[in-house]
Amino acid sequence: MRKRLRHLPSGLTASAALLVIGVIVGGLLRGGAGIAGAAAGVFLVTASYTLGSLVIAWADSVDPKLILPVGLVTYALKFTIIGVVMFALANSGWDGLKPMGVAVLGSVFGWIVVQSWWTWHAKIAYVDL
């Protein structure tokens, strides 16, 4: 399974850098609520991508035919959970909601860029050796 998760350290490193940036900017713009919101947003995205990677790697280790159905179910569950959490927070009036939303968007973009860069530069065999 370790071979299937070689991309994960690059995304986690990017998330750590984004967490530092988000906490600084959130703190400067919104104080404690901005810090909490930025940290929560980065954590939510990091947990989502890490969980998805682990589940898909597991499915691939069991049977490669499971990757698509397991991946789609995981994706749907993650979006449902994130939607419910964001809806609950939106109704609470919490001041950290906007920094959290910005951190979610920035983290998703950062993770996609870093994982794309990793994939483009990885030496991945396209045929069975």
pLDDT tens, position by position, 84-97: 888 888 888 889 99
Angle (deg, nearest 10), helices 97-121 and 8-62: 70
Global pTM value? 0.86
Asked if residue 117 is part of any domain, the answer here is: no
Q: List pLDDT tens digits, range 23-42.
A: 999 999 999 999 999 999 99
Asked if residue 40 is part of any domain, the answer here is: yes
Domain span including residue 7: 2-112
pLDDT number for residue 129: 64
Residues 6+ apart with CB under 8 A from 119: 7
Higher pLDDT, 65 or 3: 65
Read off the pLDDT of each residue in 114-125 and give the average, rounded to a whole number. 87
pLDDT number for residue 21: 95
Give the angle 57-14-39 at the CA atoms, nearest 5°: 100
Helix/strand/coil percent split, the chain, to 5: 90, 0, 10
DSSP state of 64: G
Residues 6+ apart with CB under 8 A from 34: 25, 26, 27, 28, 95, 96, 99
Asked if residue 122 is part of any domain, the answer here is: no
Q: List pLDDT tens digits, range 46-84.
A: 999 999 999 999 999 999 999 999 999 999 998 898 888
Asked if residue 121 is part of any domain, the answer here is: no
Asked if residue 123 is part of any domain, the answer here is: no
Give dist(CA 119, CA 127) in Å, integer.
16
- Judge whether residue 15 has pLDDT over 70: yes
Tally of structural domains, the chain: 1
